Amino acid sequence: MASFGVALAIFGFLQLAASASLEDKYEPMVAFICERPAMHRTVNSWVPDRKVDCLEAMEDILAYCQQMYPDHNVSNVVEASYLVTIPDWPMMNTDRALPHRVRPFRCLSGGFQSDALLVPQHCEFDHRHDQTKCEGFSHWNMVADDACREKGNRLESFGMLLNCKLGHFSGVEYVCCPKDDSEYTMTSFTLCLSFSSLDSLFYVSEYTMTSLTFFILSFLS
């Protein structure tokens, strides 16, 4: 009965997750462009901070997250696996604002949890992890991109796995799609949700909009 209850809880979560896009969901985030005010996410909008422009060191970004979200107990940061459009990003010394599409930093509370990746029809979910490595976002981005290229596919999306220290990880999950499959539809897709720790990976996958079914693909220890 306990396992059935867990399955129902996971199923309910997947229904909620599938109802909104990753870009539209709210979570504490910050974003930076040099010579423009730093931006932080609120429930309804992005808010500029003219006292700060661009931060690069992970320690500085973590401190900024903690400053912007004092009630969230932020303990880690990671670059988001997707881009967001900030519609009204102002200049530093004027009210003139323009839209910009950037990759924000997620301000994480509690234990690290990977992004949920949508897998469109005809695409494939996979992962690479190596606990002997502790690398940054750019390294694992290249690993995922190379893995898709080796199959003759393109990288659709990716997310970090197995946080090993601030801003560094021991793995990556990713979605590869055919290069010529630019007109895929999202009426049938897989939602891959990874609960990550240094001890185990638990994958929940195969969630389709039409049948609302899922299967636990694997449990790796």
Query: What does the pLDDT read at residue 182?
Result: 54
Write down all domains in the chain, each with its CATH number in brackets.
2-20+115-220 (3.30.1490.140), 29-109 (3.90.570.10)
Q: What is the mean pLDDT of the chain?
A: 77
Residue 163 confidence (pLDDT) above 60 = yes
| Kind and range of the H or E run holding 193 | strand 189-196
Which residues, other chains included, contact 62 with Cβ-Cβ below 8 Å and sequence gap of 6+? 74, 76, 77, 166
List the end-to-end C-alpha distance of the chain, in Å, as a whole number: 24
Which tokens is 79 given? Answer: 């670059």
| CA-based radius of gyration for the chain | 18
Residue 210 confidence (pLDDT) above 60 = no
Instruction: Give the pLDDT band (50/70/90) at residue 110.
Output: confident
Query: What does the pLDDT read at residue 202?
Result: 36
Which 3-state string (H, E, C) describes 65-125? HHHHCCCCCEEEEEECCCCEEEEEEECCCCCCEEEEEECCEEEEECCCCCCCEEEECCCEE
pTM value surpassing 0.85? no
Query: What does the pLDDT read at residue 24?
Result: 60
